[in-house]
Amino acid sequence: DIVVTQSPESLAVSLGETATINCKSSQSVWYSNNNKNYLAWYQQKAGQPPSLLIYWASTRESGVPDRFSGSGSGTDFTLTISSLQAEDVAVYYCQQYFDSRQFSFGQGTKLEIK
């Protein structure tokens, strides 16, 4: 099974600054046949279901502000939120969908305003 580990568990960032969240998978989620990384990012605000932000590690879902960007390849990935706004307070999760037998999520990173 692929284990996905996020860091940090929580972080506090000032408004207008940049937040960086890391995600590491226990094995590569890059598929050579299509040169794609099978990793997605979600945002979950308090009391709401998760909302898809990014898939294929760096493709923004329709309607997601371009302040949100994903990068990385293989086993190491990053979600970057630039020009942080108050509405970005949430818990962020990464998810691997490389292992078609069982998908898995990271443990989440809580983002707060400093």
Q: Which residues bind other proteins (CB under 8 A)?
A: 1, 38, 40, 42, 44, 49-52, 55, 61, 93, 95, 97-98, 100-108
Residue 17 C-beta: closest distance to other proteins, Å: 26
Token pair for 114:
């400093």
CB-CB contact of 84 with 21 (8 Å): no
Token pair for 8:
């940090």
Q: Which is nearer to other proteins, 14 or 21 (CB)?
A: 21
Q: Which is nearer to other proteins, 28 or 104 (CB)?
A: 104
Q: Residue 82 to residues 19, 69, 104: CA-CA distances in angstroms? A: 6, 8, 26
Residue 32 C-beta: closest distance to other proteins, Å: 16
